[in-house]
Amino acid sequence: MSSYILRIILYLLEFKVMIILFIQITPECLAEGGVFPRKIVLATHQPLSGPAQEYSEIGKGSLAFFKYVNDQGGIHGRAIELIMFDDQLKPEITLKKFVPFSFKKNIFSIFSGIGNKTNQTIYPFLKQHRIPSFFIGSDLPEFSLPVRKYVFPFLPNANIEARVLAKHITNTHKEQELIIWYSEKPIFKRAVKTFSKNLYNVPAKLLPGKIGRLGAEWKLIVKRKPDLLVALGSFSDVMNFLKAAPRLNIPVYTGHAVADSRLPKWLGKGFHEQVHLLTAYPLIKDTSHPGNKFHFKLMHEYEPDLKPTRWTVYGHAVAELMVEVLRRSGRSLSRSKSILASENIKNWQGKLLPPIFLGTNNHLALTTFRVSQILEDRINHLSDWIDGR
């Protein structure tokens, strides 16, 4: 009996020692994927080649800011390592490259993956392995409504933009007649409903855009003589609509997709002045913006061969937000802590971004916009920040 009791005591002592050792293990030894004592590993899929190669400048803008942060000591003593792989904006390439890559290299999260279908393709894998996707470059409503625990979209969806436009027009064009031209894709049909629900005291008529009917649609607009127009659609939808326009002296409101300093060049003189669009981070032409001044210096130092563009500003801006998430997550970094830190960003504004409001019921970063006008020599802001949530 005494030997049996002795064995029990020895077993309990051994178990107690194991518990003590386990408690005293450093956080780095227990760190989850992509977190190391001196670095955090992020991954992104972007079109570094192919027809959509212009978007590759987003990743380069992010890299420049991460290099700057690393030179300042990193985040809680850790450097940020960003691994970019080229998917040419093709979902089959994204899936083929990312899944085996993720098993070979520990990554903490996806950061700023670009594309609608590409992000859709890898989402089931990320969800299964509980890998967050921070601030993805997709405007699909499905990524923000309902909220997905591991997904934080960056770009606004059509409903957010419609709500912002409706609020502004309600305040500035009371009792004026409006025509809403829109692409007949389901996303924009829903956006029209959102716009209408948030519009007050402005009589509006709907004009669905038909393929091959732009000339006839503009003739109808001229005949009806509205006081203003709203154009809801994708970049190509809206640009085709604007390029087909006659010289009308009325404002045309549209979303964030065409917010590019090259707009006067694309549309020519005499019409671009009438386009009132949504802006979030500063446009390249806005040279007096303090954030842009910092961006120009950043690119000169860390990417001297790359001229600053709309897309490098985008990359810098989204990287600022990612750094803020990592900073708030603390030294003892985990994926769950980073999600919690993101959801507690309230009315935060970096050097480039508008006010950001995230929470458990909203993972979408860009929900606050200004209505702006792109002129030949400057950017003219026509409103304060408007919240589209």
Q: pLDDT tens for residues 301-325?
A: 999 999 999 999 999 999 999 999 9
CATH class of the domain at 159-279+373-387: alpha beta
DSSP of 293-357, one letter per residue?
HHHHHHHHHH-TTS---HHHHHHHHHHHHHHHHHHHH-SS--HHHHHHHHHT-EEE--SS---EE
Per-residue model confidence as pLDDT tens digits over 59-91 = 999 999 999 999 999 999 999 999 999 999 999
Query: In the CATH scheme, what is the homologous superfamily, with its name and number, of domain 35-156+288-358?
Result: Response regulator (3.40.50.2300)
Query: 179-205: per-residue pLDDT in tens?
Result: 999 999 999 999 999 999 999 999 999
Type of residue found at 304: P
Q: Enumerate residues 6+ apart whose C-beta is below 8 A from 288.
A: none
Contact of 140 with 158, CB cutoff 8 Å: no
Residue keyed to tokens 């790359």: 306
Q: What is residue 271's predicted lDDT score, i.e. its pLDDT? A: 87
193 close to 244: Cβ distance less than 8 angstroms? no
pLDDT digits (tens, 9 = 90+) for 260-270: 999 999 998 87
Q: Model-level pTM?
A: 0.89
Does the structure show a pLDDT above 80 at 296?
Answer: yes
Domain with CATH 3.40.50.2300 in the chain: 35-156+288-358, 159-279+373-387
Contact 249, 274 (CB under 8 A): yes
